[in-house]
Amino acid sequence: MPQLSPDAPATRPWDDHFAASLRGFGPIGILAIGAVYLGNSVFVPFGAILVLIWAWRSRTPWSEIGFVLPERWLRTVAMGIAFGVAFKLVMKALVMPLLGAPPKNQAFQFLVGNTAALPYILYVVLVGAAFGEEVLFRGYAFERFGKLFGRNRGAKPLIVLITAVWFGLEHYTLQGTAGVEQATIVGLVFGTIFAITGRLWMLIVAHAAFDLTAVAIIFWDFEWDVAHSVFR
């Protein structure tokens, strides 16, 4: 909880109690968790917005949900873009073919050459996926599970595994089994990075670059070529 200056007004006891309840796992804490994930089911960025409101109202330090300012923004952005693009190409050309995934993602074939659909998909990618999913599945989920499981030796690997599987299953309705496989692998990789660094900004940029690369491949109808670039 942030320290108050001597001149700051005293915090009311009920307010302290409510903030602590939001951070805990009593009725209020569980309701808050339910609201966040229900909000995500209704409207993806809404879950992330609720996380930010929860962090502010519960007086949870922003650093505990991954919002640590980078020492060098340019390096962080460059690393995120390079990693996201490379990761997507490796997944499309090497990993997914080994898993037997179809070369084309049927859920997004409407994007091929469809300029009119780009504003919508860019909003989904940048706001809903890159920002919304990273705040929810890495920042918030790691903080909540971290408080629940403690800091024992196996806690972080367990949290990485749980959040990765959860993240993967979220993609089943739209993208089927292949979508679950890809998202679970992404969740394992991104979750491991977050478990080590505790920082979100590079992952947000990397997630955006990953998905934008996917959009570009589909839009210009390169999916088949990329998917068969290693295994012909």
Could you please report the per-residue DSSP string of 78-91? HHHHHHHHHHHHHI
Q: Which pLDDT does position 38 carry in this prediction?
A: 87
Q: Which pLDDT does position 2 carry in this prediction?
A: 44
Contact, 37 vs 44, CB < 8 A? no
Interior/surface letters 206-226, b for 16+ CB within 10 angstroms, e for the rest: bbbbbbbbbbebbbeeebeeb
Where in the sequence is the domain holding 146, given as residue range(s)?
68-227
Contact, 146 vs 159, CB < 8 A? yes
Q: Which pLDDT does position 12 carry in this prediction?
A: 59
Are 98 and 122 within one domain? Answer: yes
pLDDT along the chain (232 residues), means of 10: 44 76 94 90 84 95 96 97 98 96 94 95 93 96 95 93 96 94 98 97 98 97 95 79
* Widest CA span in the chain: 71
Domains: count for the chain:
2
Are 152 and 211 within one domain? Answer: yes
Are 153 and 100 within one domain? Answer: yes
Structure tokens at 121: 């998909």
Q: Which pLDDT does position 1 carry in this prediction?
A: 41
Are 125 and 185 within one domain? Answer: yes
The answer to whether residue 181 sits within a structural domain is yes
Q: For 5-11, which contacts have Cβ atoms below 8 Å and span 24 or more sequence positions?
A: none
Are 90 and 50 within one domain? Answer: no
Q: Which pLDDT does position 9 carry in this prediction?
A: 47
pTM metric for this prediction:
0.91
How many Cα neighbours within 13 Å face the side chain of 58? Answer: 24
